[in-house]
Amino acid sequence: MSYFDAASGAPLHSVARQALLASLDEGWADPARLYREGRRARMLLDAAREAAAEAVGCRPDELSFTTSGTQAVHAGIAGVLAGRRRVGRHLIVSAVEHSSVLHSVEIQEREGGSVTRVTVDRSGAVDPAAYAEARRPDTALACLQSANHEVGTVQPVAEVAALCREAGVPLLVDAAQSLGWGPVEGDWSVLAASAHKWGGPAGVGLLVVRKGVRFAPQGPVDEREFGRVPGFVNLPGIVAAAASLRAVRAEADREAARLRELTERIRARVPELVPDVEVVGDPERRLPGIVTFSCLYVDGEALLHELDRAGFSVSSGSSCTSSTLTPSHVLRAMGVLSEGNVRVSLPLGAAEEDVERFLDVLPGAVAAVREKLGAPAPRTAVEEDALVVDALGKRCPIPVIELAKVIGDVPVGGLVRVLSDDEAARLDIPAWCEMRGQEYLGEEPADRGTAYLVRRVS
């Protein structure tokens, strides 16, 4: 089995395993106690904190260990908003942030705060100027991921941080996907990360709060972790997380070059091997091991199952998985195709022969799924000057398949009106038009669902 989902969780690094096992024997006592076992545990905790701080590029007393990257994000956002309550309750985030950030945003809005969501371009990147334009006198915090978890696009953190610093607004960076590859550049204020993304054990996160940032921890105050995170620390996990971070950084340059070559191979060859594919994300400013593409006329969940049977573990941000039936917020914000979406994220040490085998297997897997879907004969009617496709009650990619089948039945300049009640069609029909050179004219209200209007150009 080839594991190609390291962006969700990287396999445990061998150094992490060794450190975890060793610290289970040495690091079980309370590091706050003064007796021998406690002092030994404290030495391990201090050493881990110093190693992690060196990797981040911060002072050890600015770094606290949390139980996850999600907890670090939630605690970081809540703490800064509370500390800067006198400034205001306005928050700036990008439209492609991780769900942990967006869940905090929802709480902020429910409690009466306001949020500006900065849009991204088709590659998934923000324009730093948009953060400057979104600033208000009551802006308490801005948030920006260092790199996107679904498509791998690296964000201009340093530029955004400089603009925020100039305005006196702290910037929180979600560095979960990138920290294993190197420190986050720029004058950011708060940082969150998660050990399981770089080969450390699950259940350990990092929260860094720079000196001078107004921060008020929420909930009962605890004397541990500088008062920012309550509870007894998971010392064996922390030691393993710090050890693995140091280990992956030592091999990062060499491994990044190798994985980048492999993902570039996938980016170049998938469109050659599989028809009707869109490779998404920035082609240059991207993480080394992630490549994402979407296939027209393919159900994402079905394709993942097909690849799993062939021995490949990949993930999807597809709109068509039965568990969500809604488009990925990242792909929606980018305005790219969401159906049949596949994210390949290679772990450290991924073998070249496994990538080649994936490229051999993929065309057959896509073809099999397309054949199994067997798009039903579309129900069409002529309504005034437009051909109407009734795709009500059908999940994507079926509405797009039916649109593709009838577009040739109208003359150049003619219109097709697609009726759909699947939310994914709002993203996938315009994306299909972009890919196939047809003109998307927008949507109209309908008795049921929504009508999407397409003009045949060629």
The set of catalytic residues is 320
**Amino acid residing at 168:** G
DSSP summary character for residue 61: G
Torsions phi, psi for 110 (to 5 deg):
-60, -30
Q: Are 126 and 144 in contact (CB under 8 A)?
A: yes
**Within 10 Å of residue 423's Cβ, how many Cβ atoms?**
18
**Amino acid residing at 174:** D
Any bridge partners for residue 345, and if so which?
A: 5, 290
Residue 10 and residue 346: Cα distance in Å, rounded?
Answer: 9
Buried b (16+ CB within 10 A) or exposed e, 263-292: beebbeebeeebebbbbbbbeeebbbbbbb
DSSP summary character for residue 11: P
Which SS3 state, helix, strand or coil, does residue 278 take? strand
Ordered strands of the 190-194 beta sheet: 63-66, 205-209, 190-194, 171-174, 139-145, 90-94, 114-118
Burial class for 387, CB neighbours closer than 10 Å (0-12, 13-18, 19+):
buried
Angle at 194 between CA 66 and CA 47, to 5 degrees: 65
Residue 386 and residue 388: Cα distance in Å, rounded?
Answer: 6
The encoded tokens of residue 229 equal 């995170």
Residue 71 and residue 77: Cα distance in Å, rounded?
Answer: 10
Q: What are 178-181's contacts with CB under 8 Å, separation 24+?
A: 178/146, 178/147, 178/154, 178/287, 179/55, 179/56, 179/146, 179/206, 179/245, 180/10, 180/245, 180/248, 180/249, 180/252, 181/252, 181/256, 181/287, 181/288
Element (H, E) at 429: helix 425-436
Crossing angle between the packed helical segments 352-373 and 300-309, to the nearest 10 degrees: 130
Q: How far apart are the first and last CA of the chain?
A: 44
Any bridge partners for residue 192, and if so which?
A: 174, 207
